[in-house]
Chain A
Amino acid sequence: MMSVMASPLEVPVERSLPAGDFDRWVASEQRRIFLLCYRMLGDRDEADTAVQDTFLKAYKALRRPIELEDPGKWLTRIAVNTCLDRLRSRAWKFWQRRPRQQDEELLLMMTPAGNPSAEDEVFAREIGARLAEALERLSPQQRAVFMLKHFEDRRLEEIAEILGLEVGTVKAHMARALARLRVLLRDLYFRGEPAAAAENGGRR
Chain B
Amino acid sequence: MKAHFTDEELIEMLYGLGPDGGHLRECEWCRSRWERLAVRRKQVVEARPELPVDLLARQREAIRERIQGRTQSGFSSRLAPALATLCLVVAALVLSRPAPEPQPTRAANGGGLYTEIYSLVESPEPLAAEPIYGLFDND
Interface residues in chain A, defined as those with a beta carbon under 8 Å from any beta carbon in chain B: 1-2, 4-5, 9, 11, 23, 26-27, 30-31, 34-35, 48, 51-52, 55-56, 59-60, 106, 109-114, 146, 149-153, 155-156, 171, 174-175, 178, 182, 185-186, 188-190, 193, 195-197, 200-204
Contacts and interface: CB of A to CB of B under 8 A. Distances in A.
Interface residues of B, number: 46
B56 A34 contact: yes
A52 B66 contact: yes
Contacts of A113: 47-50
A153 B14 CA distance: 10
B118 interface: no
Contacts of A203: 2-6, 9, 19
Interface stretch (B57-65, B82-90, B106-114, B119-127): B57-65
A37 B50 CA distance: 15
20 contacts: A5-B60, A5-B64, A9-B64, A34-B56, A34-B59, A35-B49, A52-B62, A109-B49, A109-B52, A110-B50, A110-B51, A111-B49, A178-B17, A186-B8, A188-B40, A189-B37, A189-B40, A195-B7, A196-B5, A204-B6
B51 A35 contact: yes
B49 A110 contact: yes
A2 B53 CA distance: 12
Contact of A27 (B43, B49, B60): B60
A153 B61 contact: no
A190 B8 CA distance: 10
Contact of B56 (A31, A60, A114, A171): A31
Contacts, number: 140
A112 B9 contact: no
A109 B70 CA distance: 33
B7 A190 contact: yes
B56 A202 contact: no
B3 A202 contact: yes
A112 B44 contact: yes
A92 to B, nearest CB: 25
A27 B64 CA distance: 11
Contacts of A204: 6, 8-9
Contacts of B48: 112-113
A204 B3 CA distance: 9
B137 interface: no
B49 A196 contact: no
Contacts of A5: 60-61, 64
Nearest to B69: A56
A4 B53 CA distance: 11
A174 B43 CA distance: 21
B12 interface: yes
Interface string B1-36: 011111111111011110100000000010001000
